[in-house]
Amino acid sequence: MEHTSNEKLLDIRDLSVEYHSNGKIVKAVSNLNLSLKKGETLGFVGETGAGKTTTALSILRILPELPSRITSGEIWFNGENLLLKSKKEMQQIRGKEISMIFQDPMTSLDPVATVGKQIEEMIGLHEKLPKKELREKAAQMLEQVGIKRERIDDYPHQFSGGMKQRVVIAMALSCNPNLLIADEPTTALNVTIQAQVLELMKNLKRQYQMSMIMITHDLGIVAEICDSVAIMYAGNIVEYGTVERVYENFCHPYTEALFDSIPSLDEDQEELKVIAGLTPDPTNLPSGCPFHPRCPYAGPECAQQAPEVRETEPGHIVRCHKDLKGGSGNE
Amino acid sequence: MSEYLLEVKNLKKYFKTKNGPLCAVDDISFGIRKGETLGVVGESGCGKSTAGRAILRLHEPTAGQILFNGQDIVKYSPKKMKEMRRKMQIVFQDPYSSLNPRLSVQALIAESLRVNNIGKSDKEREEQVKQVMDVVGLEERLINSYPHELDGGRRQRIGIARALILNPEFIVMDEPVSALDVCIQAQILNLLGRLQDQFNLTYMFISHNLSVVKHISDRIAVMHLGKIVEIADSAEIFNNPRHPYTQALLSSIPIPKVNLKRERIILEGDVPSPVNPPAGCRFAGRCRHAMPVCKEVCPELKQCGNSQVACHLYPAEENSVR
Amino acid sequence: MNQKKQNKEKKYSFWGDTWKRLKRNRLAMFGLFIIGLLVFCAIFADLIAPYDYATQDLMNAYQGPSLQHWFGTDEFGRDILSRVIYGTRISLQIGFIAVGISLIFGGFLGAVAGYYGGKLDNFIMRVMDIIMSIPSILLAISIVAALGSSMTNLMIATGISYIPSYARIVRASILGIKDQEFIEAAKAVGTSDWTIIIRHILPNCLAPIIVQATLGVAFAILTAAGLSFIGLGIAPPTPEWGSMLSTGRNYIRDYWHMTLFPGLAIALTIFALNVLGDGLRDALDPKLRG
């Protein structure tokens, strides 16, 4: 397919990332393809070690340099390949064009600086403004995320967990980024606070018209906030499509397993449907389709050949030899 | 005579802090029948874990009674309590920090036996360890492995095996699946269900994840800031939540379904601090139905339909005392 | 295909792991080699030393290094090489026993303070603070002065002056570990306090203690040498590096070899212990654990 990059904000092509640990090579991400439209929110779902965070860190090029390496691929952002940028150019992009929110708000704020200072610093990195204006802008950002501007001179420890995450969001949005990457932004929060923060993010996303990648393990959060969803397993996307299509008509056995594993709130189940086994050891991935040892539908071809992606319906992509919904689906 | 295996009466646990007492658990009462699972839900800091630990006297209760088979174990001497611990066990949340990294799987599980002088020889204990490993679904070849070599699911199975090998009647499950990925979480939940049937176990299942709690519990207690605000059968809580906090909690769960139409109750503000909590109802500050009385009088837990609720919205039924 | 290899790799226990990583550190291995050599010298001093350490030969006093006397002779014509070799025995003994004393008492006090906390903790640690506020060499001097100078007293004096640092380290490690859930888990199955400390807590805070002890042996040898140097340590003719150095000082202008060789021996030992200690710290660091 030919894509013009002007309608796409982000286009990842054939990305592979490896880690080296104890002389072994860990394939964290292998040949990943993904694109994101302007204003779109994409959910990134998968278990621990599936490569969600690694992919996100590769986009920002903040992978720890020594043990990890991007071995192949291109990351096109706004028509430019980020992997060819110099360090200095990347620093300009980080925070200004692409921002990231991390899981733990407790550790992503500097405990010895006031929240106002931290937001000002973030803005100051990318915009040369007089001090007064910086402060005013920081105060506006706080108000945006529902924190009173009087609290601008407070230190992070004076805020609760949910409030801290709001400050982090304010920092991330302070330079009007085109893309926001949120890595499990609500996992460390209580459910009622999580609901608040999600609501806030939904509103801000609309207001700022930015694109967002939401990394999470919670399919419920994806349903709430995302337009499309990518399910990751062992370093690759196994299913991708709009949230409606994937949730109502999933085609990959792993996606099915994920949905089956969540206890339902509507009906009573004696036993949950469970897939056996564990996420594979990334230093020693199974041959063929990495999911085949756990897959209830696996056939002989699954062990031999890695499946190619195919489109089951427009915009709904699956990486599987089998067609869960009946019919033959090779290639 | 009592219908309950475990009955907790007016349990309190306060911690001393510089700014006054922290009322982690403040006057809670409930009972758990034999073979039943009582789910305890609430946000972090609501005292649910402290309650679980106070019941096992891992934290000494500040006040109250804990009747196990009709006997008040709060009064037990340390020696008698050690005996008792064999019948009351606990499984912890974090499968990473709850296992001593220097001990092998075999040593970890056998530790429970060694400490309680069960089994005549190491050999006999090893047999028992192998049996229990089989019961919880751990492969025998892992017997000499160390925890850091195993994944979260297997580690949690060790934690379960360690509790199970003492043949307990009652197990406190303190967020046993919260640290696990969904697929593994489902495996462990199924295992817990199976073990309960097989050994006629009674669980107190503590979790902040409502769908997990609903799946495994017969009855559910909702805790908020050290108090139980509502307690009822699992279905009743979900179909007919009465307390405004329960309602808000239920509506905050993200549900993995698209095009879901539901009214969301988004609570304003933060969970108040359990140090010097407000007088009156502790939820009043965030409650959308708050009335003047709520700020002054702390509501008692009382029968209302099929649930017990602590809320001024529900007037007392005839024979409860105000 | 490499399933078998992997299984074998998995069998490494904690100590196996540590050893594997230590082996990769060349400098630490060099330190270990030197320590090994010194221990060997100490044990087999009678066999290795070319002369007796106390035999005087006034005719050959003050001789520089030669084929007969590799390190030369001292003011009484005693062979310095033999004295240095025998000195290994004394110095290592002092080092290890003194560290043993501070480790046992400091470890016990630190464990009690850390585990029980509260007033007991406060009391123990304040006493430790008081001891710490006295410079250790002064403390050791006053202890030796009070007890009289002998090898045993030297070891006691050095040992006592290092108790606080062990107490602190053990206490800090215990505080870090005692709130972990596996301690609570041990309590839940009915484990007694002492079993918890000995079986569950101490093994998990061994790493910093071992490192401190390795470095501590070096400190103890230095302190003992210092005390001997000012005449409060080992009485002649027992060969001790510090006292040899102190005698040699008087003749340093004319007979440099009398100070050089015992000095080198001290320096080499301290160096070896330090690099080994550093290597152990890195090898034991769980963050580097793969």
Domains of chain A, earliest start first: 8-97+177-319 (3.40.50.300), 110-176 (no CATH)
The yes-or-no verdict on residue A71 having pLDDT over 70 is yes
pLDDT, one tens digit per residue, over B204-224 is 999 988 889 999 999 999 999
Chains that touch A (3 or more CB pairs under 8 A): B, C
pLDDT, one tens digit per residue, over B230-242 is 999 999 999 999 9
A200: how many CB neighbours lie within 10 A of its CB? 18
Element of type H or E holding C255: none
The yes-or-no verdict on residue A82 having pLDDT over 80 is yes
Distance CA B173, CA B185 (A): 14
B128: how many CB neighbours lie within 10 A of its CB? 16
- Structural domains in chain B, CATH included, are 4-87+168-309 (3.40.50.300), 102-167 (no CATH)
User: pLDDT at position C145, please?
Assistant: 84
User: pLDDT at position C122, please?
Assistant: 92
Using CB atoms, which residue from B53, B101, B149 is nearest to C204? B101
User: pLDDT at position C8, please?
Assistant: 39
Average pLDDT over residues B128-133: 92
- Residue A331's pLDDT band (boundaries 50, 70, 90)? very low
Between strands B170-174 and B202-207, the pairing is: parallel
Using CB atoms, which residue from B82, B98, B111 is nearest to C181? B98
Contacts of A248 in chain B (CB under 8 A): 258
Distance CA B68, CA B84 (A): 9
User: pLDDT at position A329, please?
Assistant: 38
The CA–CA distances, whole Å, from A21 to A68, C16, C21 equal 9, 18, 14
pLDDT, one tens digit per residue, over C172-188 is 888 888 888 888 888 88
Q: Cβ neighbours of residue C253 under 8 Å, at least 6 residues apart?
A: none
How many CA atoms does the CB half-sphere of C52 hold within 13 Å?
A: 5
Using CB atoms, which residue from A191, A270, A272 is nearest to B186? A272
User: pLDDT at position B316, please?
Assistant: 61
Q: Of the candidates A156, A114, A155, which has an alpha carbon nearest to the alpha carbon of residue A135?
A: A114
The yes-or-no verdict on residue B68 having pLDDT over 60 is yes
The CA–CA distances, whole Å, from A294 to A29, A137, A275, A278, C253 equal 20, 52, 6, 8, 81
- Residue B181's pLDDT band (boundaries 50, 70, 90)? confident
Lowest mean pLDDT among B32-36, B63-67, C174-178: C174-178
Q: Bigger pLDDT: C17 or B31?
A: B31
Q: Which of residues 171-190 of B touch C (CB under 8 A)?
A: none
Q: Bigger pLDDT: A315 or C17?
A: A315
Most A CBs within 10 A among C1, C4, C6, hence the mutation to make, goes to C6
Average pLDDT over residues A104-127: 87
A293: how many CB neighbours lie within 10 A of its CB? 16
pLDDT, one tens digit per residue, over A277-292 is 777 877 788 888 889 8
Lowest mean pLDDT among A294-308, B252-266, C107-121, C172-186: B252-266
Could you tell me how many helices (H) and strands (E) chain B has, helices first? Answer: 10, 12
Lowest mean pLDDT among A149-153, B225-229, C83-87, C244-248: C244-248
The yes-or-no verdict on residue A49 having pLDDT over 90 is no
Interface touch A199/B266, C-beta < 8 Å: yes
Contacts of C9 in chain A (CB under 8 A): none
Q: What angle do CA C180, C183, C185 make, to 5 degrees?
A: 110
Write out the two tokens for A8: 């796409």
Q: What is the mean pLDDT of chain B?
A: 88
Write out the two tokens for B270: 């933060």
C6–A contact, CB cutoff 8 A: yes
Contacts of C21 in chain A (CB under 8 A): none
The yes-or-no verdict on residue C1 having pLDDT over 80 is no
How many CA atoms does the CB half-sphere of B247 hold within 13 Å?
A: 18
* d(CA A22, nearest CA chain C) in Å: 6
User: pLDDT at position C14, please?
Assistant: 64
Most C CBs within 10 A among A284, A285, A287, hence the mutation to make, goes to A284
Most B CBs within 10 A among A265, A267, A273, A294, hence the mutation to make, goes to A265
Average pLDDT over residues A307-317: 88
User: pLDDT at position B243, please?
Assistant: 93
C14–B contact, CB cutoff 8 A: yes
Average pLDDT over residues A174-196: 87
Between strands B307-309 and B202-207, the pairing is: unpaired
Q: What angle do CA A74, A79, A83 make, to 5 degrees?
A: 30
The yes-or-no verdict on residue C217 having pLDDT over 90 is no
pLDDT, one tens digit per residue, over C59-93 is 777 777 777 777 877 777 788 888 888 888 888 88
Q: What is the mean pLDDT of chain A?
A: 86
- Residue B129's pLDDT band (boundaries 50, 70, 90)? very high
Quote the ipTM score: 0.82
Q: Which of residues 258-297 of B touch A (CB under 8 A)?
A: 258-260, 264, 266-267, 270-271
- DSSP label at residue A133: H
